[in-house]
Amino acid sequence: MGEMTKFGAVAAGHPLTAETAGEILADGGNAFDAALGAMCTATVVEPVLASFGGGGFLMARPAEGAPQAFDFFAQTPMAAPEDCAASRDFYPIVADFGAAQQEFHIGMGAIATPGAVHGLFAAHEALGRLPMRRLMEPAMEIARRGFVLSPFQAYLFGVVGPIYTVTEGARRIFAVSSPPSGAERAADDGQPAERLIGEGDRFRNPDTAHFMDALCREGPDLFYRGEVGQRIVADCRDGGGLLRGADLAAYGTRVRAPLSLTWRDAEIFTNPPPSTGGLLIAFALELLRGVSAWNGRWGAPAHLTTLVRVMAASNRARRQENPEAMRADDRARMFLSPDLVDAYRNALAEHPQTARGTTHISVVDRAGNAAALTLSNGEGAGYVVPGTGVMMNNMLGEEDINPTGFDVWPRDRRMGSMMAPTVMHDASGLTVLGSGGSNRIRTAVLQVIVNLAAFGMTAEAAVAQPRAHFERGHLDLEPGWPEDAVAALPPGFEDRRDWPERNLFFGGVHMVRLARDGTAEAAGDPRRAGHGLVR
């Protein structure tokens, strides 16, 4: 179970990300300092998943005071796609997960206004205790000295490899020269051919260290109005992008009240609209309220059948009610209204109940402050801001974020997301969790919450259990589900893919728990080489 903690606990997507947070906690920082410092390190050691050129969300639950949701996700440009249609740099690539493929669009025309830098400083000003330079020091040091790429990091680069070698700026950071061999021939000039960085290579990004050092001195204006922002705007103007100076200058972090609900005696705070991830998790939990057919056993036929039917109902409700098209303040009220929930719950009761690039950081400190921070760069646009080592996002090219189609987004609007950083509070203590994984975020977080609250699992067990995901009439199952549960799936789930092993496709839930007796648990998701530590 848990171990006694002196400072707190953290779970993240890389050991160095987690260690940064642990060091900051031990140095007197609170959970918010630790999460923000870890965010900076993640941009260095998890470059496929995190970048200052992207955006994200922080669910902050202070030990004293009301929880707050910091929205620093991407904003659509003020310009319309047709404003540079003839010259727009926007084209598809395919990410290869092995058992599945997914198409994304990249190029400078895929870049939305980024919020990560603004959110970092806004959250620090509101909640931080230590100086910003102290939070950035570990990331700057790692960027300068480098670190050895793990098998998982190499796998990620392999999934989205074309993005990280598509431009000269990207190749300068993410490609290495290999000596000629039987497998790798020399280039035409006789020099070793370039290849994408891989397992065992030392990855360094000193430009990012210089950029962070400048940020410490100049603050976010460097990125939104100063030299870096001006370079982004000039390159977009000349290179087929949509961002202009007004987009960067007008960007602001938005602080919202979380979406809250009570489920099985746990008070849950998750990401509110305009993002839909938290909303769909809350909707699914409402459908599961009162379900008693699982007989207390994970993997019972009724458990798997109920889960996938709830996923299907959430998909139908999202399409039919079209919450993305509604005003944010109406969205939760409509989507969680008793009439709508009852209609879908009744539809479930009519049948027998027997038978993406994203990373997350969870931190809780000994005082009871809780921080759940989810960060994404999409897959990256391929464009690296010269002199910064920062690859910009491709949010305008993400199908999951643009469910009604590319280039039909409203101008100058905060984009929604499936990201759902979440904090739970019940009689046993605090739980902090969230996930990467594109459209699979909502089902990953949902299943872990159910594992914790309905089945009483430890953090490690709740994260490690096999997962299911149902979308667009197709069911994906990780190995490990009992045969009787799979055999008992009802009609409508025949289009199924049984994965040979657990995979990052199903998300990466990094979670910490702090019990009332001062013991803590930390679980990093093995699907994404996550790492947890208690300090």
Catalytic residues: 358
- Starting at the edge strand that comes first in sequence, how are the strands of the sheet with 519-523 ordered? 3-4, 519-523, 508-515, 429-436, 422-426, 266-270, 259-263
How far does CA 508 lie from the centroid of its chain?
8
405 class by beta-carbon count within 10 Å (0-12 exposed, 13-18 middle, 19+ buried): exposed
Residue 60: closest CA among 52, 68, 72: 68
Gap between the Cα atoms of 205 and 192, Å rounded: 21
Q: Which long-range contacts (CB under 8 A, 24 or more apart) does 304-307 make?
A: 304/468, 304/481, 304/485, 304/486, 304/488, 304/489, 305/353, 305/355, 305/485, 305/488, 305/489, 305/490, 306/348, 306/353, 307/446, 307/447, 307/450, 307/468
Residues sharing a CB contact under 8 Å with residue 48, sequence separation 6 or more, in sequence order = 153, 156, 157, 159, 160, 164, 357, 377, 379, 380
Gap between the Cα atoms of 95 and 98, Å rounded: 9
183 class by beta-carbon count within 10 Å (0-12 exposed, 13-18 middle, 19+ buried): exposed
Q: Are 513 and 2 in contact, with CB atoms under 8 Å apart?
A: yes
Furthest C-alpha separation in the chain: 70
* β-pair type (496-498, 474-477): parallel
Gap between the Cα atoms of 218 and 225, Å rounded: 11
CA dist list (Å): 60 to 64, 320, 364, 372:
11, 32, 10, 7
Question: Strand pairing partners for 430?
Answer: 425, 514
- With helix as H, strand as E and coil as C, how does 403-469 read? CCCCCCCCCCCECCCCCCCEEEEECCEEEEEEEECHHHHHHHHHHHHHHHHCCCCCHHHHHHCCCEE
Beta strands in 46-198 (DSSP E): 55-61, 68-72, 91-96, 101-106, 147-148, 175-177, 194-196
